[in-house]
């Protein structure tokens, strides 16, 4: 009898959640327990410097982060969090590429497209609501890590004519906002906007970087886990695959790949991703050769590796 009640119950919960018009979580999620002062600096920068016309004009024009080939390993010592490098594949993908979010011109000076996406109530789609949580998680992680001076590598979709220049300008603004003009954030381009696979020469640049710096872990996240994150991982050399760890809260699944039950469990009571649910979700997924086990960890376990 209880089993027979499960689906109607889930349906009722979905209707109830949808009627609440869910917004994305607010603020910054400090999963790595950085100081409150650092968190406050990020919040202050977001609401002051990065909302000025001058800053926005420059941020939409060009990326402030460097290509990984410009990195000087000897200058990065002491800037690897727990002796590892963070790699985020296609941050903002759901908003900019998949959904192609539009924002009223009147809000341009106060919100980038991800901030706008998070602020708009989601009335009809609980799956879209959970993507708000993942977008907020990934943005928070990059913001805090970059402000703290730790090395991050972003795998970005290479700009092309399939998407209008004005939309690429918005994407550049978003990347510049979450990286805080940090000299420790670098990027590589994926071959296409639909995959995280790098150009062959960029895999060599990445491999050389890991070997020269001597890092022991690659902490991997991004969007979507079963597409772009996986294809980045798939073409890594075997020795680098061994040191990859997937961060559950920062690895968003494709919305169509999760069930209603999973979606509900993923969203914590505060609107952020529930760590244990995200961990269980990725562990049970069988995507290529990333088969859960110790490849998937929670953010709080990063330094225990």
| pLDDT given at position 87 | 98
Task: Give the pLDDT of residue 294.
Answer: 64
Residue 61 forms part of a structural domain: yes
- In this structure, is residue 19 part of a structural domain? no
Flag whether 18 is in a domain. Answer: no
pLDDT at site 25? 82
**Does residue 12 lie in a domain region?**
no
Contact 80, 210 (CB under 8 A): no
- Determine the Cα–Cα distance for residues 238 and 28; give it in Å rounded to an integer: 35
Q: How many domains does the chain have?
A: 1
Res 11: pLDDT:
44
Residue 143 lies inside a defined structural domain of this protein: yes
Residue 42 in any domain: the answer is yes
Specify whether the CB–CB gap between 285 and 292 falls below 8 A: yes
Strand (E) or helix (H) holding 134: helix 126-147
How many Å apart are CA 261 and CA 274, to the nearest integer? Answer: 13
Dist. CA 184–CA 283, nearest whole Å: 31
CA distance 305 to 245: 9
Half-sphere exposure of 97 (CA within 13 A, CB side): 23
Segments forming the whole domain that contains residue 107: 30-304
* Residues of the chain scoring pLDDT < 70: 1-24, 100, 106, 122-124, 286-294, 305
Structure confidence at residue 275 (pLDDT): 96
State pLDDT tens for residues 76-95: 999 999 999 999 999 999 99
pLDDT of the residue at 19: 38
């Amino acid at each position: 009898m209880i089993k027979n009640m499960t689906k109607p119950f889930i349906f009722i919960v979905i209707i109830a959640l949808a009627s609440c018009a869910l917004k994305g979580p607010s603020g910054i999620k400090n999963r790595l327990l950085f100081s409150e002062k650092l968190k406050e600096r990020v919040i202050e920068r977001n609401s002051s410097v990065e909302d000025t016309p001058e800053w926005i004009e420059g941020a939409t024009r060009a990326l402030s982060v460097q290509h990984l080939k410009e990195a000087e390993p000897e200058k990065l010592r002491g800037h690897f969090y727990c002796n590892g490098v963070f790699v985020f594949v296609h941050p903002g993908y759901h908003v900019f590429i998949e959904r192609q979010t539009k924002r009223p011109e009147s809000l341009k000076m106060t919100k980038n497209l991800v901030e706008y996406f998070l602020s708009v109530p989601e009335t009809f789609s609980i799956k879209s609501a959970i993507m708000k949580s993942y977008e907020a998680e990934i943005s928070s992680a990059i913001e805090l890590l970059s402000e703290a001076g730790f090395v991050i590598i972003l795998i970005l979709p290479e700009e092309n004519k399939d998407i209008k220049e004005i939309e690429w300008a918005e994407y550049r603004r978003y990347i510049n906002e979450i990286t805080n003009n940090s000299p420790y954030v670098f990027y590589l381009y994926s071959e296409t906007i639909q995959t995280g696979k790098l150009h062959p020469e960029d895999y060599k640049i990445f491999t050389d970087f890991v070997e020269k710096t001597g890092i022991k872990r690659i902490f991997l996240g991004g969007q979507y886990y079963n597409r772009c994150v996986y294809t980045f991982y798939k073409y890594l050399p075997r020795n680098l695959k061994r040191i990859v760890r997937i961060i559950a809260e920062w690895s968003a699944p494709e919305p169509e790949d999760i069930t209603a039950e999973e979606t509900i469990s993923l969203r914590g009571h505060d609107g952020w991703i529930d760590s244990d649910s995200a961990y269980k979700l990725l562990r049970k997924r069988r995507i290529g050769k990333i088969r859960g086990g110790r490849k998937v960890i929670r953010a709080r376990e990063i330094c225990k590796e």
